[in-house]
């Protein structure tokens, strides 16, 4: 039996345990990109922690003290800060593992179609459910990033990104299910259903899938940009 106050910190540890243990695997050499990992995690984490702090203040969501260590920075528990370290690290690890072992860009031909479909969905749902804060802000944020990709940048790695995103959904649903009460008497993170669609996948608000999409897309944009910059600097 896990003591209640260790649940959230244990989720963080389990999220990062295998990726961290395999980061020195010589075929992937994931940590050789440590500067890009740090840059992407720090910048995207800063954006999303500010969002997190605001939405906690507005009671769009909140945290159950029963499952926390009791250490806070502002309104956020220390476990939430760890979340924005462990999740991008684990998902970037999945992204790089798939890049190495899946030689063919399976979704490369379809990434613009996937982007266009997601863009339409996020714009429509974000508008339809306005002014529900979580739905509207979350979907519009993802729509902005998808629009930049579709109309301007046309990143060549988007097919790889979508494959990594879809695979990342498997551990994300398990861990997020744990956070939202799938395996505990009460949710560790609670959501105000007045500020979302009220549609759940088990215990997980459906918006969380788009939240992950927007977060990982921002992380990957920064990561790929930092990798190219670091490679250019090394060559110089």
**What are phi and psi for residue 62, nearest 5 degrees?**
-165, -175
131: cis peptide before it, omega within 30°? Answer: yes
Q: What is the pLDDT of residues 139-172, one digit of tens each?
A: 999 999 999 999 999 999 999 999 999 999 999 9
pLDDT, position 209: 98
High-pLDDT (> 90) share of the chain, %: 92
Using a cut of 0.75, tell me whether the model's pTM lies above it: yes
- Kindly tell me the burial class for residue 85, based on how many C-beta atoms sit within 10 Å of its own C-beta (0-12, 13-18, 19 or more): middle
- Kindly tell me the burial class for residue 104, based on how many C-beta atoms sit within 10 Å of its own C-beta (0-12, 13-18, 19 or more): exposed
Instruction: Give the Cα separation of 149 and 87 in Å (integer).
Output: 23
Q: What is the pLDDT of residues 46-99, one digit of tens each?
A: 999 999 999 999 999 999 999 999 999 999 999 999 999 999 999 999 999 999
High-pLDDT (> 70) share of the chain, %: 97
């Amino acid at each position: 039996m896990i003591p209640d106050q260790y649940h959230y910190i244990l989720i963080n540890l389990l999220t990062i345990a295998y990726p961290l243990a395999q980061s020195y695997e010589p075929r992937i050499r994931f940590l050789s990109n440590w500067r890009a990992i740090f840059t992407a995690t720090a910048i995207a984490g800063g954006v999303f922690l500010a969002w997190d702090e605001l939405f906690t203040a507005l009671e769009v969501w909140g945290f159950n003290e029963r499952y926390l260590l009791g250490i806070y920075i502002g309104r956020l528990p220390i476990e939430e800060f760890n979340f924005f370290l462990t999740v991008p690290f684990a998902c970037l690890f999945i992204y790089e593992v798939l890049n190495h072992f899946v030689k063919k860009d399976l979704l490369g031909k379809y990434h613009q179609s996937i982007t266009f479909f997601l863009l339409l969905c996020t714009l429509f749902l974000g508008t339809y459910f306005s002014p529900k804060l979580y739905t509207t802000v979350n979907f519009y944020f993802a729509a902005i990033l998808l629009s930049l990709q579709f109309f301007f940048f046309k990143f060549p790695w988007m097919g790889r990104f979508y494959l990594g995103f879809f695979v990342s959904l498997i551990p994300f649903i398990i861990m997020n299910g744990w956070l939202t009460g799938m395996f505990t008497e009460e949710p560790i993170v609670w959501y105000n259903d007045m500020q979302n669609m009220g549609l759940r996948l088990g215990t997980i608000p459906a918006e969380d899938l788009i939240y992950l999409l927007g977060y990982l897309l921002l992380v990957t944009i920064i990561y790929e940009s930092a990798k190219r910059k670091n490679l250019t600097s090394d060559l110089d």
